[in-house]
Amino acid sequence: MTDSSDNNTAPSTSQMWGGRFQAGPSAVMEAINASIDVDQRMAEEDIAGSLAHAAMLGATGIISSEDAAAIRNGLEQVREEARAGKIAWSAALEDVHMNVEARLKEIIGEPAGRLHTARSRNDQVATDFRLWLRAACDRIDAALAAYQSALVEQAERHADQVMPGFTHLQTAQPVSLGHHLLSYVEVAARDRGRFADARKRLNESPLGCAALAGTAFPIDREMTAETLGFDRPMQNSLDGVAARDFALEVLSAAAICAVNLSRFAEEIVLWCTRRFGFAQLSDAWSTGSSIMPQKRNPDAAELVRAKPGRIIGSLVGLLTVVKGLPLAYSKDLQEDKAPVFQAIDDLELAIAAMTGMASDMSFNPRALEAAAGEAYSDATDLADWVVRELGKPFRDAHHIAGSIVKAAETAGVPLAQLPLADMQNIDPAIDERVFSVLSARASMNSRTSLGGTSPVRVREQVAAWKRRLAAAQVSGV
């Protein structure tokens, strides 16, 4: 591998590891063995790990301070070149580790060969991967926090807006639109918790586990772990190089998060149809049809709805790779990064799209309120009134309310327009007070229990979430 401005010839793979071999690999072997097209994304992490390792080698006297300084300066130059996109990654050098080391040798010469003392590509790649995923977890957490903030802002604006709540996609009971939106804030909090848990468990350092058995050199693994921001070194060298459950856990969190986003995306698709007419996305989040000029398609929401297929596929793919591997390292594990990178890319894009749509959506109050009062959505309130005011057991009240609903259906009127006399034909104890609960808005306002949909409760939850999100932003959590 060479810098684009350098005319030196890059060392071949066999020069890096092939002392036992008389010939280089075949073209097919080189192609299947190379991973640089994927793992070059970990160049930053690889260089950080090498800087920590070199500093430790110098501090423990395993290499001279002069060599440690030369390696540090050379790696910093490699990092600058990588950030500037000036490194020509070579498939002949297989992976990011060998590419970085080869470029380092071009810059500083013989001392570069001392960098790999007391480590292996096995612990090196495991360290890089954990560093990369740790940063990914942090980015996803910040993105989900922004998504939550967008939902909280909409919920605050629409705490008093009544809409139909659904079960089985059938109108069930009236709820506050703000309450509905806050439900996804809660969901996102659990998603953030899963990524935080995964981050906590992956934040242990494999560096120093070497190939599989540790090393005879007097290394200081506590030093490298602390330098790289890990909580501690991993305690078993076999586990250090072989474990990939940390990646599986992040993928699991990503798959669940994608499914949760997809559920809201599906609602956006439904709400934006003419049949529902509850909401509309602006031109920024809609597309048109190549043949039907009247169309406004919620393509962003539909694409978010599709992302779980890819992300779940990544999880299943990596589970399948790992499931049959004996300890410690096998080359199969080279296939771990592509599905993870793809899944994280897809998830970050989906979260960004959902945040944009959550901020952008406008709502149709008339359509929401009209739909909230349909299909006798206040029938439960009627039954509750019978229990509360007439002292009936709920099962009896349920039967009375059902009979009144049937009478209203026969008359073709909502419950609030059914004559009192018709209700009294079913239960003579019913009086005119019943009409105070027979509206969608009255139903919504009455649900004041903890976690309920009353606008009073919604505003309390909005305030609580604003405090929580602001506190987390200040603390960096």
Q: pLDDT digits over 201-228, tens only?
A: 999 999 999 999 999 999 999 999 999 9
Average pLDDT over the chain, rounded to an integer: 92
23: tokens are 């010939």
Per-residue model confidence (pLDDT) at position 71 = 98
Q: Is 399 a catalytic residue?
A: no
| Confidence category of residue 157, pLDDT binned at 50, 70, 90 | very high
Residue 183: active-site member: no
Would you state the pLDDT for residue 2?
38
pLDDT tens digits for range 452-475: 999 999 999 999 999 999 998 876
| Cα 395 to Cα 165: distance, rounded to the nearest angstrom | 23
Q: Indicate the Cα dihedral angle 64, 67, 68, 70, nearest 10°.
A: 160
The pLDDT confidence band at residue 151, using thresholds 50, 70 and 90, is very high
pLDDT interval class at 350 (50, 70, 90): very high
Average of per-residue pLDDT across 84-89:
95
Lowest mean pLDDT among 3-12, 125-134, 288-297, 318-327: 3-12
Q: Helix 337-360 crosses helix 245-271 at what angle (to 10 degrees)?
A: 30
Render pLDDT for 234-263 as a digit per residue (tens, 0 to 9): 999 999 999 999 999 999 999 999 999 999
Of 229-238, 411-420, 436-445, which one has max mean pLDDT? 229-238
Q: Which of 168, 290, 362, 449 is catalytic?
A: 168
pLDDT score for 136: 98
Q: Which pLDDT score, from 0 to 100, does residue 10 have?
A: 43
pLDDT at residue 3 is higher than 50: no
Residue-wise pLDDT for 263-314, tens only, equals 999 999 999 999 999 999 988 887 665 566 565 788 999 999 999 999 999 9
Residue 9: what pLDDT? 39
CA–CA dist 316, 69 (Å, integer): 44
Q: How confident is the model at residue 66, as a pLDDT?
A: 98
Pairing of strands 232-233, 204-205: parallel
| Average pLDDT of span 420-443 | 93
Residue in 261, 273, 286 with CA at minimum distance from that of residue 355: 261
What are the pLDDT digits (tens) for 29-45?
A: 777 878 889 999 999 99
- Point out the catalytic residue in the list 64, 65, 282, 289: 289
153 confidence band (pLDDT: 50, 70, 90): very high
